Structure formats: C-alpha cells, structure tokens
Amino acid sequence: MTSIDTLSTGRTGARDRDPARRLSLQPVTLAAALAWAGAAALLRFVPDLTFQPLVTETASLWLAVAAVFAVLGLGGARLGRAGRWTAERGPWVLVLGLLAGLWAWITAKTGILPQPFFPTPQAMTEVFLYDWVKILDSAGHSVWLLSKGFFFGAIAGFVIGIAMGWSKTVSYWGLPLLRYIGPLPATAWLPLAFFIFPTSGSASVFLIAFSTAFPVAVLTWSGVAAVNRDYYEIARTLGASPWFLVTRVAIPAALPHVFVGLFMGLSTSFAVLVVAEMLGVEAGLGWYLQWAQGWAAYANMYAALLVMAAICSGLITLTFRIRDRVLVWQKGVVRW
C-alpha cells in the first residue's frame, strides 16, 4: 500500500515539477503576445516620419491585445473553450502580430509604402474611432439590400430548379434560357435594370436576385435530376402522391446541392451588391467606397473593405451553420 502511494506521489510530483504541464502553457500563444507587445512598442517609441494621430491610443490597443493573449497563453487548456481556440489559432495570432509591426514600420516609420495610398495603423484607428457611425449605417444598408435580393433570388432559383428537375417539359423549355441567359454577368444588365425599375434600390435588388438565382437553379436542378429513381418507385408503391414525391423525396435528396448553390449565389451576389451600390444607391458600403475614393480618403476605403470581408465571411459561415443543422448526416463534409 505504501509503495503504491509512493509511486503515485512520485508521478504526481514529477508532473507538478514540470511548469509547462502544471500551467498548461501555450508557447505559440505567448510568442504571439510578445509579437503584439513588440509591435505596440515599435509604434509608440519609434518616431514617425510625419505627424500621425492616435499613436498612443493605437499602441495601447495593441498592448491590450498582447495582454489578453498572454493570459490565454498562461492559462492554456485550463481555460476551456478559449484555451482550445488559442491553441488552434495561436500561429495565426503570432503572424498577425508580426505583420502589425511590419505594417507600422513600412508605412509610418520608414515610408517604404507611400501615404496616403497605404494608410498607417494610426490612420485606420482614426477612421474606426471617428467614422464608425457612417460605416455602421452603410453596413446596415448593404446587409438589408443583400438580404432582399438574396432571398428573392434563392426562392426563384429553388423553384425553377425543382420544376426543371421534376418536369421534362419545363426542363425542355427552360434549359436553353438557363444556358444562354444565366451565365451572363449580372452587371451586364445594369443599364437595362436601371431603366426598367422605378428606383435604383429595386434595380439593385433585381441584379442581386439574378446573380443568386442562376447557381441555385442549376444546382437544385442537378440535385433533383440525380435522385435515385428507385426512391420514387418505392414511394409510389406505398401510395405516395406526386406532391409527396416532390416535397418528401426530391427536395430532401437535393438539399446538399441546394446549399452549394446558395453558397455560390451568396458569393456572386455580394460582388454585384458592391457594384450596384457604387452606381446607383445612395447608401451602403459600395457607396461609402465611392465616396471615400472621391475624397482620396484611402484609410476609409480600406476600412470599408475590411468590413465587407467580415460581413461576407460571416454570412457564408452562417450559411454553413444552417447547412450543418439541416443536413446533420453530412455535417463536416463541406467545410468553410
């Protein structure tokens, strides 16, 4: 009994004497914290070539990021989900910290990348600090416009795809139109859309819906057409009606293809959204980009691009989350 206790105590003591194991340290995360702290020191104490606003504030923000990751790196796995998140993304955080320091060095400190075409970190902080209301309002208009166009385009493409996949007659008459009109870029319809529709907003909704409907229709049609015919025969043997075959057999079997079409449609519709807002809408991120370009406010342009990237990535992530909930049996098959 004593020997067993001694062995157990010895093993536990060996584990306790290992500080990395006792604290569950994450060396990469700690290195990332040092990188962000170094970038903050570079930004704060190395003089700028020209006057830059909010130097202290930007350096303090980066130092706060370093402090957060230092805590996460020391806590490690004991912090639960946060610890697992940093363990997985620690290398990225490290690289971003190094890039932040490089960004400050080649813009504000040495001028290798000339201003105002390549704004400094301090200039970007100034944009988000003082112009966040306009950016947030523009983002809200863009999301609302995209939601309307994507909704109508997804519904139209889904209905067209189901009809073409189920009915040979609809497929016969609809396939030539889908092949020759669908691949046309939605931006090619800009002059006609702004002439036909009464407002620029409704024209933009049409263009976004058009760019969404084509990939959704093609993928839905392919999914319905690829359903095993034995499923229909078994359902008919059990007395299933045509409506049952469509709603309970064809559509569920085609859903994996439908979600791929939604993913493609969302990507293309976002590109059309930016172009439409640049040309005819009086609000939105595309309009904000056009406004910033007119005033040569390049920092505002980069800020709008960052917000666009965040929104587009977030919406695509949301689409995949919905896909994983609906298609539980295919969770993780398609990753984002």
Q: 309-336, pLDDT tens digit by residue?
A: 898 888 888 888 888 888 776 666 666 6
Q: What is the mean pLDDT of residues 127-136?
A: 90
Please give the Cα distance from 61 to 315 (Å, whole number).
27
pLDDT at 332: 61
Structure tokens at 293: 């370009």
Q: What is the DSSP annotation of 48-73?
A: PSS--TTHHHHHHHHHHHHHHHHHHH
pLDDT at 290 over 60: yes
**Side-chain half-sphere CA neighbours of 156 within 13 A:** 19
Per-residue pLDDT reduced to its tens digit, 164-214:
888 888 888 888 888 877 777 777 787 787 788 877 778 888 888 988 888
Give all strands (DSSP E) within 181-297, no chain letters. none
pLDDT at 35 over 90: yes
pLDDT band at 8; cut points 50, 70, 90: very low
Structure tokens at 74: 């020391």
> Helix (H, G, I), strand (E, B), or coil: what is residue 282?
coil
Amino acid present at 1: M
Q: What is the mean pLDDT of residues 90-104?
A: 93
pLDDT band at 16; cut points 50, 70, 90: very low
Q: What is the mean pLDDT of residues 50-65?
A: 90
Q: What is the DSSP annotation of 142-164?
A: HHHHHHHHHHHHHHHHHHHHHHH
> Helix (H, G, I), strand (E, B), or coil: what is residue 89?
helix
Q: What is the mean pLDDT of residues 207-234?
A: 84
Largest CA distance in the chain: 92
